[in-house]
Each structure stands twice: as structure tokens, then as C-alpha cells.
């Protein structure tokens, strides 16, 4: 399967390049960067110490035309453009971009009418399992158990709470048959008063080079249950994204998640 990487020279982009090269079922078809990037014209594997014979391009349309699937961990604006390209070129799209708005997600859904689109805030197999466990725990525990979600990422992350934290919040809310936006509390500052019953709280920490830590706390009277996942590098995310691309081959158009990919 020919897989292309948009945003191929960033930290995640290079992990994705490495993951594609390591998978016997995949063939790296190319990669793109912004037109002003100094990486344009360089070999895709230069930062990895490998020679791929493929050079970084500034032409995403050409990459979509020559690829069976594209993996996109870029920015919301770029992902909107890539979703439209995927539909036009009949190319599978795997999206791990975080910070997407409802309008951005609508563009993905429109593309999914034409091609398979796999969209997940986190492609780690462990995080997908964590999400399933959180939903089950929230369903088993009534709202006398307060739910708090704590996440920590590196100092360069630009969105908060993380997409994974929000996905965990949605899973908890689903377990309690409520909408997350009706009960979430994304920040606390000053004299906030007592905690609302049934509230789902978020805390976002930033610092150092932390790849991604997520903990969901169910705090009751006399006991506390914590379910956590800690990522030590990004390769798990990259391998999961490649797995999603390979899984999408011969699928009908639609918007899929990692739950579909893993058969959960």
C-alpha cells in the first residue's frame, strides 16, 4: 500500500516516515511540507539517517494523486484542505490532527461520504483500550464519584485540553448517558465554589518533553479509582496510524475510528 505523509519533517512526521518504512505491508510514496520549509528538496529520511530516494515536496495534490492513503498529523487548517483533496483524488485519509473544531470535523465527514477516513485523537492501541475502560467505569459508577481528567504534554503543544483528554471525557459522558459539553469544567481559577455534582473536570499540564500522560480519576467518598496511560515515545502513535491506513484498504467510504480498526 502506497502511503504518503503530509507534514513529513516534524517530530511526528518523521515517526510516521519511520513507521511506514518499517512495515512490510506499506510503501512510502512521498511527503510534503509547507512551501517555505527549508526541507523542500531534501530526502525524506535525512533526519533519520536513511536514504529513501524520495524528496520532500510542497505539492500535496501530487502526493495524493500518487498515494493509496495519506496520514495527516498537521494543523486544523491544513487538515481541512487535505480532506478536500482526499475526496477529489479518491485517497484514503488517516487523521491524527488535534484541536479540530466542529466545522473542521464536518469537513472530514463530508470527505468520508466519498472515501474512507480514519479520525482519532490518539492512535495508540493502549489509549483506545483506556477509552473503552473509562466508558465502562463511568457506566458502573454513579455521579457520587467525581470524574477528573489530568493530562500532561511537552512545552510545545498548542492546544489544551488535549484531544485525547477530550475523547476520554466523551467516553466518560457516554457511559453516563450525558453530553460532555453539558457537564465539563475545563478550568478553575479563583473562588469557584463547591464542585458541581456530575461535573467532568479537566486539568492540563505542560512542560519538558513529555510525549503524553493521561489519567482519569473517579473520586468517591472513601476511595479513588485511577486509570492511566503514559507514552514514552511517539512510535506507538505512528504504528497505530499505519495500521489504520492498512486496515482501510478496500473499506467502503465512511468516518471510522481506532475502535473500528481494532474491532472493539
- Residues serving a catalytic function are 153, 157
What CA–CA distances, in Å, run from 246 to 63, 66, 242?
17, 16, 6
SS3 content of the chain, % helix, strand, coil (to 5): 35, 25, 40
Grid coordinates 492540563 are at which residue? 204
**Pick from 252, 263, 259, 225: which is nearest to 112 by CA?**
252
- Sole residue written with cell 467525581: 146
Cα distance from N-terminal residue to C-terminal residue, the chain: 24
Rounded Cα distance between 211 and 10, Å, is 14
Instruction: Specify the length of the chain in residues.
Output: 264
All three cell numbers of 175: 457511559
Amino acid at each position: 500500500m502506497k502511503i504518503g505523509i503530509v507534514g513529513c519533517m516534524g517530530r511526528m512526521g518523521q515517526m510516521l516516515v519511520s513507521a511506514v518504512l518499517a512495515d512490510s505491508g506499506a510503501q512510502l510514496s512521498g511527503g510534503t511540507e509547507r512551501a517555505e520549509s527549508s526541507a523542500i528538496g531534501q530526502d525524506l529520511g535525512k533526519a533519520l539517517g536513511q536514504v529513501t530516494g524520495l524528496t520532500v515536496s510542497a505539492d500535496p495534490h501530487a502526493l495524493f494523486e500518487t498515494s493509496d492513503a495519506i496520514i495527516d498529523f498537521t494543523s486544523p487548517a491544513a487538515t481541512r484542505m487535505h480532506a478536500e483533496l482526499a475526496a477529489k483524488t479518491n485517497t484514503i485519509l488517516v487523521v491524527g490532527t488535534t484541536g479540530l473544531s466542529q466545522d473542521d470535523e464536518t469537513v472530514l465527514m463530508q470527505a468520508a461520504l466519498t472515501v474512507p477516513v480514519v479520525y482519532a485523537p490518539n492512535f495508540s492501541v493502549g489509549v483506545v483500550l483506556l477509552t473503552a475502560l473509562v466508558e465502562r467505569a463511568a457506566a458502573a459508577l454513579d455521579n457520587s464519584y467525581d470524574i477528573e481528567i489530568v493530562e500532561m504534554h511537552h512545552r510545545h503543544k498548542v492546544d489544551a485540553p488535549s484531544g485525547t483528554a477530550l475523547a476520554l471525557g466523551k467516553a466518560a459522558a457516554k457511559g453516563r448517558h450525558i453530553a460532555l459539553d453539558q457537564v465539563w469544567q475545563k478550568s478553575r481559577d479563583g473562588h469557584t465554589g463547591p464542585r458541581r455534582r456530575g461535573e467532568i473536570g479537566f486539568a492540563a499540564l505542560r512542560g519538558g518533553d513529555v510525549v503524553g500522560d493521561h489519567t482519569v480519576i473517579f473520586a468517591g467518598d472513601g476511595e479513588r479509582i485511577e486509570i492511566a496511560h503514559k507514552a514514552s515515545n511517539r512510535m506507538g502513535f505512528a504504528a497505530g496510524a499505519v495500521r489504520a491506513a492498512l486496515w482501510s484498504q478496500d473499506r467502503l467510504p465512511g468516518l471510522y475510528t481506532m475502535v473500528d480498526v481494532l474491532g472493539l
